[in-house]
Amino acid sequence: MRVWVLNGPNLGRLGRRQPEIYGTTTHDELAELCGRWGHELGLEVETRQTNHEGEMLDWLNEAADLSVPVVLNAAAWTHYSLALYDACAQLTGPLVEVHISDPKQRPEEFRHTSHVEPHALATVAGQGIDGYRQALEIVSRSS
Ligand code: DQA
């Protein structure tokens, strides 16, 4: 089974971006780990990252057309994008939301809202990079 791991804005700088919050694993390393974890679960994982909301919306629309399961870390878009809300609402395959930190435990109020959560099978948050492995496991169990 094919699965897309889709990462939103600023996650391309993983490993260098606020490592005290997001850790030291780079996005390339994360992509490799997701591929390996997916392989162990019998999944064919493709990991992508974009800083452009329209590109993310195109990917989600394509996932809906193809019924590809999605593991989504929409980063800051999670908290305010209604276009993202609509794109997630129309997905036809399973959706698992993932965050490296736990936005609901962070001090900024804006992080306490998620426009992905209402459409997700599950949310994995605050587990660091391992959260992606857990999200892939949830996807593999869902089908
Ligand atoms: C994040 C949490 C978001 O609040 C933040 O905007 C991010 C990363 C996470 O993975 O912990 O960019 O999604």
Is the C-beta atom of 76 inside 6 A of ligand 1? yes
Distance separating alpha carbons of residues 15 and 24, to the nearest angstrom = 4
Q: What is the DSSP letter of 105?
A: G
Is the C-beta atom of 75 inside 6 A of ligand 1? yes
Query: For 128, left (φ over 0), alpha (ψ -120 to 50), or beta?
Result: left
C-beta separation of 82 from 63 below 8 A: no
Distance separating alpha carbons of residues 133 and 131, to the nearest angstrom = 5
Q: What is the pLDDT of residue 60?
A: 98
- Domains of the chain, earliest start first: 2-142 (3.40.50.9100)
Q: How many angstroms does the Cα of residue 75 sit away from the middle of ligand 1?
A: 4
Residue 137 CA, chain-centre distance (Å), reads 13
Model-wide pTM > 0.85:
yes
Q: What is the pLDDT of residue 143?
A: 72
What angle do helix axes 53-66 and 82-89 make, rounded to 10 degrees?
Answer: 10
**Which of 128, 140, 48 minimizes the C-alpha distance to 96?**
140
In a structure prediction context, what are the per-residue pLDDT tens digits for the chain, which is 143 residues long? Answer: 999 999 999 999 999 999 999 999 999 999 999 999 999 999 999 999 999 999 999 999 999 999 999 999 999 999 999 999 999 999 999 999 999 999 999 999 999 999 999 999 999 999 999 999 999 999 999 97
